[in-house]
Amino acid sequence: MKHTKTICAFFTGAAIGAALGVLYAPEKGEDLRSKIADLKSDYLGSLKDKVNEFIGKTSDSTNSDTGNTNQPV
């Protein structure tokens, strides 16, 4: 439980630091918004890929554990 809190605190601090860095960046607002939109798209695409990969692995291991690949659980 202690490690979970530490990890959450780390990621929260990283997110706050990134947000403050973006807010104080010496860039035009339009350029910054465009960069943020691109980063968001990249991040969401990566996240979707990882979730689908996880679901595939979980599904494969579940099917191999039961021995029935065509029968619903």
pTM: 0.42
Q: What distance in Å separates the CA atoms of residue 49 and residue 46, rounded to the nearest whole number?
A: 5
Closest CA to 18 of 40, 51, 2: 40
Which parts of 1-73 are beta strand (E)? none
pLDDT in tens, 13-70: 999 998 888 788 777 778 878 888 898 999 898 889 889 888 888 877 666 655 555 5
Closest CA to 62 of 49, 51, 70, 47: 70
